[in-house]
Structure 1
Amino acid sequence: MVTARQKCSRSGVALRCGAATLVLVLTGCGDGHGHGESDAKPPTDPTTRATSAAAVPRAAHSLPPSGTADGATEAEVLEVYGLMWAEQIKAYRAASAGGTDLKRYTAPDVWTAFEADLARMDKERTVMRGDLRHEPEAIVPADAQPPAATVKDCVDASNWQTLDTTTGWRIPPPPGQPARYAVTAKLERVNGERWTVTEYTPHRTRPCQGLSDN
């Protein structure tokens, strides 16, 4: 699984969005690939779509905390995080970033980590299938220079599975990985350019029930 970070916030206190790994990302894409098979084959046409990761902020009814950016800035962060997430889902469903814009939204270190994970999947002949959901929240300090944001996310990977493309069998997730796990990320905006995901870290052994658990 990839290690990198990103954040999104909610208008008012923090922008929150629910949607569909990264790592992604991506339960099932970690230790344990190729170790064991389930006793049931997937549908012959495994084309179940992952939920779109586009950030959909929830309305807030209070003013932003002192020292944080306004809701519009936080919405920008949330949008970029959601776009990166959607491209990540596409890449992991194909075990390749080809045809995606994943690189566009990530800093070099994050992109390199994703590339390495996807290359491993391609070598092991595995892809991701099913439905991946998440609940990200971003906080943007008003005085950060360059502008930076932190994202807390709770990923629900209970219906996100690794598929062995040589046998058609689904591979169980690594032992100890909860169905819902925490993810943290960091985004930065340098020289007025678009927000970029500079860190993305799935905490695959840290369970979460929602944002308050991250």
Structure 2
Amino acid sequence: MKRRAHHSAVHFRKTATASLALCAALALTACSSSDGKDEASDESPTVTQSPTASASADPEETAVLAAYTQSWEAQTKAYAKASSAGTDLRKTTTLRALGLIEQDLETMRKAGQVTIGKPMIRPQDPKVTDGEIPKATLTDCVDTTNWTLIDKATKKKVPLPSTRLVKYVSTAKFEKWGTKWMVTELTAQPQTC
């Protein structure tokens, strides 16, 4: 069964947050351990892209990879404070996808939860198709081992279902709006990578 969380980390956070605060059934992915960082630290969380991620010589494919990484970085920052304010989410994510992220962030705020650490992504060879609106897709292995959901007040790790996938396959979809690639959707697969 596929779970959709149009864009990003959205799926990761939506799953983790919903499984804790509202729906224990949404436990496809989530954090598994704290990296020991204080949530209130000045260090800005950013996504780590694995050195094994493929580098593309095609300028459009390179642009898609850059957009994907920027989107993850913006989401990581938003989930670290349970708010999209002051992040670049609107620059990397379509309104439909952003709406789902905002729902996740609201759920986190109500539960008094934020994240610490960061995910590791390994996007693979984007496939770009021409058209009136150029589109692209890529597959990724998202590793949330060091992206942890914590209680904002106590700084304690929030227990998550043991059945969740800490590493999962995700497929991202993009559209090119003008000169910019925007993430329109992420589909997390219920399989490890």
Q: How many residues align?
A: 178
Any idea what the Cα deviations from partners look like across 1:131-179, whole Å, max 9, x if unmatched?
A: 3111012423344442100021111111211101233321123342122
Q: Name which of structure 1's ranges 126-135 and 46-55 shifts more when overlaid on structure 2.
A: 46-55
Change (3 A) 1:157 1:108: same
Q: Distance in 1 between matches of 2:65 and 2:37?
A: 36
State whether structure 2 residue 73 is matched by structure 1 residue 86: yes
Which residue in 2 is equivalent to 1:163?
150
Counting only pairs closer than 5 Å after superposition, residues 190-201 of structure 1 correspond to structure 2 as 190=177, 192-201=178-187
Which residue in 2 is equivalent to 1:131?
118
SS state of the match for residue 38, structure 2?
coil
Structure with greater Cα Rg: 1
Which residue in 2 is equivalent to 1:206?
191
Any idea what the Cα deviations from partners look like across 1:65-116, whole Å, max 9, x if unmatched?
A: xxxxx71110011111111111010000000001101011111110100011
Which residue in 2 is equivalent to 1:3?
5
Q: Distance in 1 between matches of 2:164 and 2:72?
A: 20
Name the one with the larger helix percent: 2
Change (3 A) 1:172 1:138: farther
Which residue in 2 is equivalent to 1:45?
38
Q: Distance in 2 between matches of 1:146 and 1:187?
A: 10
CA RMSD of aligned residues (A): 3.1
Q: Name which of structure 1's ranges 192-201 and 112-121 shifts more when overlaid on structure 2.
A: 192-201
Partner AA of 1:169 in structure 2? K
Could you tell me the TM-score, scaled by structure 2's length?
0.77
State whether structure 2 residue 19 is matched by structure 1 residue 31: yes
Q: Percent of aligned positions with the same letter in both sequences? A: 31
State whether structure 2 residue 173 is matched by structure 1 residue 178: no
Q: Residue 47 of structure 2 contacts residue 73 of structure 2 at CA under 8 Å; is this kept in 1? A: yes
* Match for residue 150 of structure 1 among 137, 140, 149: 137
Q: Distance in 2 between matches of 1:104 and 1:42?
A: 28
Any idea what the Cα deviations from partners look like across 1:14-58, whole Å, max 9, x if unmatched?
A: xxxxxxx613544633312498xxxx9985834476443579764
Q: Distance in 2 between matches of 1:51 and 1:43?
A: 16
